[in-house]
Amino acid sequence: MMKKLRHVVMFGFTEETTPEQIDEIVRRFAALKDLIAGIESFEWGANVSPEGLGQGLSHCFLATFASDADRDAYLPHPDHVAFADFVKPHVAKVTVLDYWAQER
């Protein structure tokens, strides 16, 4: 099996952020897959956990890369930077975690 690098981003939005603005953020984040070479796949979803442990994070985004180099090219890419600048005023909390997927 070929290992995959997962890039997990979780957002908690400000109280002022509207559902329409969240929809636009999701649209722009998903569009990065077509704008930036190296993103193999992208998925997202809103938190539906009944456990109450989200700590203010409401949306999760997962981008998959084949290598550190692909991820490292994505981070400073002008389209990614423009997205980050766009989303910044709407985000109260953000967590980012990267990991190499392991299977058994």
For 87, other C-beta atoms within 10 Å of its C-beta total 20
All structural domains of the chain: 15-43+63-94 (3.30.70.100)
CA distance 78 to 82: 6
Strand partners, 6: 64, 99
Position 64 scores a pLDDT of 98
Position 24 scores a pLDDT of 98
Which residue type occupies 87?
V
Burial of 46 (0-12, 13-18, 19+ CB in 10 A): exposed
CA distance 5 to 57: 22
Quick: pLDDT tens for 30-79. Answer: 999 999 999 999 999 999 999 999 999 999 999 999 999 999 999 999 99
The answer on pLDDT for 4 being more than 90 is yes
pTM for the model: 0.94
Quick: pLDDT tens for 69-78. Answer: 999 999 999 9
